[in-house]
């Protein structure tokens, strides 16, 4: 399996997932980590394994900013150093739990698995839209499949015409009148923009529209390495430049972080209603995940490129992301060598 | 594990297992394949993985002779070429699902995993007896254990004296009066023939025979590479040259195809009665499979020859099949090198 | 994973675990073995795999001192030689089930996986205390975790202050007044001795003692390679040199044998009461095993030393055992090379 790119910000969790006065234990990039909130309001992230006899620190207890191992009582501070020992001797300086830089930003907790000296929070992708003060549900699930296959799925929305027929209701309009554009932002973001002009309206929108009223639509997906995505959608009456809205422009996170090479964390958002939750679960669990898991099973451990995938024009965005990630990977391998 | 011999016909399924208008998905030689019946009555066999994004094609749909992928709608013809695309562009020529030659013969579907140019249907082993017009049940099960261990079991029927005591009822006669002969046919078939002359009759046959009536018996097993076997049995009153029948001569298939290196497909036949079904399940599932699975576990991944098996004279047939398969394997390795 | 030291006695089972007239099948050092009692009262230990077609011999039957394979009826004597064949031919001399020296000693059965010529029963560690004629329960369980991690747990009893608070009730006295001494016996045994002088009494002992009565305590753990341990404990009124007993000196076995590199057999003893059984299960299953399993998971296949464990003074006994075992391992590797 391809190495993880290290000098990047990945999302570990939503802030609200860290329990008050407690710890969140989560497998990230194949290793167990724990996150806890410090008295200062900042967060600390420690490898979830005691450097003494290797049991999970999250089986222990948190007292103030110190995590105490359940097995022999050693206590570790936010920087991973052993700051408490029940033994008469002073614990040696080198007894340290591994740590990673972690920053709370845009309701998420972002970690940097590479060189801490390079961990500039300004490099966290812009998810400022998550800061808006609306009562939305911000959820987390794990999905079977390598995170790059989840990116493929998100960066090529033509699959909506096949597996999201009921939920997205694009009804063929993506193929009829869709125009695809792949663009890159100065910060490295890659956009895959589908725009449908003067298209047939989806069935569910017809009651809101006059008979035969046609629409303009945007389905714009944005990617930041490694796999932090955002989807911007909008629908307006055709020819009004979205002034006469059917769906106002809205943007939602699809932030993916590798749990392992075979499984992915998926961070998403939806309206805080049971109906919206059910819709999200249908899309993610019943429609997307079976395809992503089947692609993962189809590869059966084979490298994506070694499997010589067919590349269609509609894959342009997805492939550009894969190439960008590969360049980052090669650069890090080069620096290491 | 030993490589599979590629330039050979293997049985994939009974014809009746392919659903009308549908697909049969089956793991064969470690890979997932799908089989479907064409409008012409012939069959096509495609790797069960889309060459675009690798999901199982069997999750999709069949329309006429074309299999459509569930994920992005690409359609693949019987030769694996992409013949339908929902995208504006023509799919490139090289976008192909892998295929294998497949031929319907003797109620079975036979595939050739090697060089298609060599796939001569005349090389399919002679199972013409399966064409007979009797209302028999033709069944399929998977068995734990490498297919060569299943061959060992079938080619050395002395185990019947230990694990099939109730079902076969040879009752020691195989050791008392059995004569073993190993023979080879011009087409490469290897026979392991047990013949019992003037032997004690099994208990279940006594009501059909006079008190003390002795019998002649044949237990002749035929093997074709890789593991397509047939068992010919007969019983007659001793000294009548089988003219006075107790069991008329009958032949039944025991056709084995590797599902993986650790599991085997088993194709069999029995009378279409519940009693015959129960008897077959007792023999295969309760008596044979535990032994074959235990042998597989005992090897624990070790090569059969590296484990230095004891070889008895009664193993002559089984060992000859193993050697024949090894020669085929070496010949293919030599051609590849 | 580290190789097993071969030229050592390991405990396979309690004698009473071998059923009368039957066989005990047990995985030891990654392989399946069977043990049975001979007519002479001695024991035989055979690899639990027939040398003919590799099925588990324990699926067969025992007749006298001979184990008969279920598959083809070959019979194997205590030295592993094939002494019975249902076939006309004499089985060849080299058809042998692997064996290991096995000796009944101190209610246990001890095996020697190395060179049989070196298997001197005088080298079996001294567990003579197990011969005492008391109606004790001698139990067996398997525990998740490499056997050296179980040794670590036993040789560093400071963990009692954290995970055995209710059961051992040392209540901080080990840290307050405990003195640790690591000693080696001439036979290679390594002792980790904790002695508490004039310590606070545990809560459960207070009804037996005057108000404020302080106690002396011993917690002495003895190790023999590979992982055969014994715990000696005692408690007396402080200053009486254990003459005024609170707990009389008693010693109990904690004998560990690798089942695999990831799981361990644990042989223990307790009073033959339901209360004592429940207490043992709480200590082993609810308190110790989760820590040992977590340490095993924390290492995730990594070598203990490669994980650069913190080493505290209290680890002196455990580390000395690990080093002793490593020296034995290196010596055997050197002899093999």
What are the tens digits of pLDDT across the range A28-82? Answer: 999 999 999 999 999 999 999 999 999 999 999 999 999 999 999 999 999 999 9
The residue among A58, A64, A55 whose CA lies nearest residue A45 is A58
The two tokens of residue B211 are 């008190």
Distance between CA atoms of B72 and B44, rounded to whole angstroms?
22
Q: Are B246 and B205 in contact (CB under 8 A)?
A: yes
Chain A hits for C158, CB-CB cut-off 8 Å, are 72, 86-87
Which value, to the nearest 10 degrees, does the dihedral of the CA atoms of residues C288, C290, C293, C299 take?
A: -100
Distant-in-sequence contacts of C121-129, Cβ < 8 A, 24+ apart: C121/C9, C123/C8, C123/C9, C124/C9, C125/C9, C125/C187, C125/C189, C125/C224, C125/C228, C126/C187, C127/C228, C127/C230, C127/C253, C127/C255, C129/C230, C129/C251
Q: Are C160 and C174 in contact (CB under 8 A)?
A: yes
Among B161, B294, B299, beta carbon nearest to C73: B161
- Is A35 in a helix, a strand, or coil? strand
- pLDDT exceeds cutoff 90 at B95: no
Question: B217: pLDDT confidence band, cut at 50, 70 and 90?
Answer: very high
Distance between CA atoms of C290 and A60, rounded to whole angstroms?
12
Tell me the pLDDT tens digit for each residue of B311-333: 999 999 999 999 999 999 999 99
Among B71, B87, B95, beta carbon nearest to A314: B87
Q: Are C298 and A54 an interchain contact pair (Cβ–Cβ within 8 Å)?
A: yes
The residue among B228, B223, B249 whose CA lies nearest residue B105 is B228
Local structure of residue A19 (DSSP, 8 states): P
Q: Which of A171, A290, A312 to mutate to test the interface with B (most CBs of B within 10 A)?
A: A312
ipTM above 0.90, yes or no: yes
pLDDT of residue A205: 82
pLDDT along chain A (337 residues), means of 10: 92 98 98 98 98 97 98 96 87 89 98 98 97 94 98 95 83 87 96 95 83 92 98 95 93 98 98 95 95 97 94 94 97 87
- pLDDT exceeds cutoff 80 at B337: no
Helices B289-299/B147-155 angle, 10° precision: 130
Chain C hits for A91, CB-CB cut-off 8 Å, are 310, 312
Buried b (16+ CB within 10 A) or exposed e, C286-314: ebbbbbbbbbbbbbeeeebeeeebbebeb
- pLDDT exceeds cutoff 90 at C337: no
Q: Are A55 and C307 an interchain contact pair (Cβ–Cβ within 8 Å)?
A: no
pLDDT of residue A208: 82
Q: Are A291 and B82 an interchain contact pair (Cβ–Cβ within 8 Å)?
A: no
The two tokens of residue C227 are 């992982």
- CA-derived radius of gyration, chain C: 22
* Interface residues from chain C to B (CB-CB < 8 Å): 49-56, 59, 70-74, 82, 85-89, 91-92, 94-95
pLDDT of residue C1: 64
Q: Are B313 and C87 an interchain contact pair (Cβ–Cβ within 8 Å)?
A: yes
Chain A hits for B51, CB-CB cut-off 8 Å, are 308-310
Q: How far is C87 from chain A (nearest CA, A)?
A: 47
**Residues above pLDDT 70, as percent of chain C:** 100
Q: How far is B91 from chain C (nearest CA, A)?
A: 46
Q: Are C175 and A94 an interchain contact pair (Cβ–Cβ within 8 Å)?
A: no
Tell me the pLDDT tens digit for each residue of B192-212: 999 999 998 888 888 888 888
Question: C20: pLDDT confidence band, cut at 50, 70 and 90?
Answer: very high
Q: How far is C205 from chain A (nearest CA, A)?
A: 24
Distance between CA atoms of C332 and C222, rounded to whole angstroms?
24
pLDDT of residue B170: 77
pLDDT of residue B174: 87
Q: Are B175 and C87 an interchain contact pair (Cβ–Cβ within 8 Å)?
A: yes
**β-sheet with B10-14: strand ranges across:** B10-14, B108-111, B102-105
Nearest 5°: CA angle at B191, between B189 and B196? 165
Q: Are B310 and C51 an interchain contact pair (Cβ–Cβ within 8 Å)?
A: yes
Element (H or E) spanning B176, and its range?
helix B173-177
Q: How far is B182 from chain C (nearest CA, A)?
A: 17
Residues B181-190 have a mean pLDDT of 96
Residues C198-223 have a mean pLDDT of 89
Q: Are B307 and C50 an interchain contact pair (Cβ–Cβ within 8 Å)?
A: no
Q: How far is A25 from chain B (nearest CA, A)?
A: 32
């Amino acid at each position: 399996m391809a190495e993880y790119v290290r000098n990047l910000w990945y999302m570990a969790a939503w802030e609200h997932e860290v329990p008050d006065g407690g710890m969140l234990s989560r497998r990230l990039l194949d290793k167990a980590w724990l996150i806890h909130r410090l008295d200062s309001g900042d967060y600390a992230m420690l490898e979830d394994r005691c450097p003494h006899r290797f049991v999970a620190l999250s089986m222990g207890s948190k007292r103030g900013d110190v995590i105490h191992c359940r097995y022999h009582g050693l206590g570790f501070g936010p920087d991973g150093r052993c700051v408490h020992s029940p033994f008469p001797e002073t614990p040696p300086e080198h007894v340290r739990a591994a740590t990673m830089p972690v920053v709370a930003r845009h309701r998420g907790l972002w970690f940097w698995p590479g060189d801490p000296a390079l961990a500039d929070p300004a490099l966290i992708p812009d998810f400022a839209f998550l800061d808006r003060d609306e009562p939305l549900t911000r959820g987390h699930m794990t999905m079977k499949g390598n995170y790059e296959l989840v990116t493929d799925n998100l960066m090529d929305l033509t699959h909506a015409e096949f597996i999201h027929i009921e939920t997205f209701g694009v009804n063929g309009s993506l193929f009829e009148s869709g125009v695809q554009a792949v663009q890159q932002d100065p910060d490295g973001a890659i956009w895959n923009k589908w725009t449908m002009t003067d298209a047939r309206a989806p069935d569910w929108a017809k009651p809101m529209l006059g008979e035969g009223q046609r629409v303009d639509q945007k389905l714009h997906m944005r990617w930041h390495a490694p796999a932090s995505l955002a989807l911007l959608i909008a629908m307006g009456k055709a020819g009004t430049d979205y002034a006469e809205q059917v769906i106002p422009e809205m943007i939602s996170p699809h932030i993916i972080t590798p749990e392992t090479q075979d499984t992915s964390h998926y961070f998403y958002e939806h309206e805080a209603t049971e109906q919206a939750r059910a819709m999200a679960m249908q899309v993610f669990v019943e429609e997307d995940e079976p395809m992503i898991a089947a692609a993962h099973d189809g590869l059966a451990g084979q490298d994506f490129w070694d499997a010589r995938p067919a590349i269609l024009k509609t894959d342009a965005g997805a492939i550009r992301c894969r190439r960008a990630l590969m360049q980052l990977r090669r650069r890090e391998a080069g620096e290491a060598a």
